[in-house]
Copies of this chain bind each other. A is one copy, B any other.
Amino acid sequence: MPTAAILSQGDEVVTGQTVDTNAAWLAEQLTDRGLLVVRHVTVGDRKPDIAAALRALAAEADVVVCTGGLGPTDDDLTNEAFAEAFGAPLALDEVALADLEAKFRAFGREMAPSNRKQVLLPRGALRLDNARGTAPGFARVHEQRLVACLPGVPHEMRAMYLGGVVPLLDALLPAAPGRLVTLRTTGLGESALQDRIGTFVHPDAVLGYRARTGEVDVKLRFRAGASDDVVRALVADVAARVGGAVYGVDGLDGKVGSLAEAVAAALLARGDTLAIAESCTGGGLSALCTALPGASAWFLEGCVTYANDAKVRRLGVPAALIAEHGAVSEPVARAMAEGVRAGAGATWGLAVTGIAGPDGGSDDKPVGTVHLGLAGPSGTEHRRVRLFGDRHRIQALAAHTALDLLRRRLA
């Protein structure tokens, strides 16, 4: 399997001022073509470090993609480092210079002398045009191996990768991407999933896990050429082992991106609508829903009834119920769900009340105690859970657990 490596360069990346989204984007692109990405390296704006990294990665991987360091300022050193690494002296590229001058004219600006260094390209390298910015990139093809240098600005980098690097890769290493199927799950941790699935060894597929807040993806990457029957049988087998925690399968017959998407699809299919009453999640449960384009087709309203008085006034929760059981209790969760459902005229009313912490817990109701209520056409159900983590995590998990209660009811 051909291998790839990614080099990011820049003081702003190595010191953590910028999160390196370029590396992740490139890695996904390269992986999707069937390349095995073996390494990312990030170094600062020091020429010897860049040159050494280019040399080491070019020796290790079939394809090396480098981002950053093509700008006009003193700390932009990629072309000089490349020249040093591969013994390819820099020379002025007349076509690139004409293009750069034309771009400045089009902006109505004078080209600064410092921009000339951007069109000094290593001898023997292929120029990669920059459709989105000033600096051209360049690539070296040597013994069927590729080293490409792209700008660091993400949208320029992506356009140059797609327009300049992909054609080179198509010529050198025709894509053999295999197939990726993702089982999206919620409600089980990574180790609980692994215990259910057991050891997975199969000649046609590799299995991996990816945890997100409140959700874990089980990823099956099939080798190129695995038959559709094999893919479906293996996916069905793994899904059966996991059970009801699977809320969607992505990459088999369609796309499922998140738990909220799965709930939205189920509501839309039935023509149902949803109203939410939330306390400890503080708007986060509604936000999970309204993050989806087109949410207005099924999401009617949310009530962030943080104060007790708001629960009474907005949702019609009897004040006596709160006084007797406390705001974080089964009767209040039920009354919130029924109240918001009735008020909004929705098919479903979903309610969350709990203690997100760090304060407010007690022996009886420790931080992380959450009561969920779901009111629907055939009555109201309740669930109590205990969640762990800091405030942010408890809020996020509570929102996911509430959505999952609805998802299972709709299933």
Contact = CB atoms under 8 A, between A and B. Distances in A.
B28 A24 contact: no
Interface residues of A, number: 99
The oligomer's copy count stands at: 2
A237 interface: no
B24 A40 contact: no
Given A23-B42, A39-B41, A305-B301, A191 B72 contact: yes
A178 interface: no
Contacts of A14: 27, 37-40
A293 B16 CA distance: 25
A17 B282 CA distance: 29
Contact of A391 (B15, B75, B291, B388): B291
A44 interface: yes
Interface in A167-216: 190-192, 194-195, 199, 208-211
Interface string A11-47: 1111111111101111111110000011111111110
A43 B5 CA distance: 10
A77 interface: no
A73 interface: yes
Contact of A283 (B286, B294, B393): B286
A28 B14 CA distance: 9
Query: Which residue, A23, A71, A391, has most C-beta atoms of chain B within 10 A?
Result: A23
Interface stretch (A225-233, A238-246, A306-314, A374-382): A306-314
Interface stretch (A84-92, A107-115, A247-255, A328-336): A107-115
A343 interface: yes
Given A41-B40, A282-B291, A388 B107 contact: yes
Interface string A379-397: 0000000001111110100
A304 B291 contact: no
B17 A37 contact: no
B306 A303 contact: no
A299 B288 CA distance: 20
A292 to B, nearest CB: 9
A344 interface: yes
The 10 closest A-B pairs by CB, nearest first: A282-B290, A16-B27, A283-B286, A302-B304, A16-B28, A283-B283, A283-B287, A301-B310, A40-B42, A16-B24
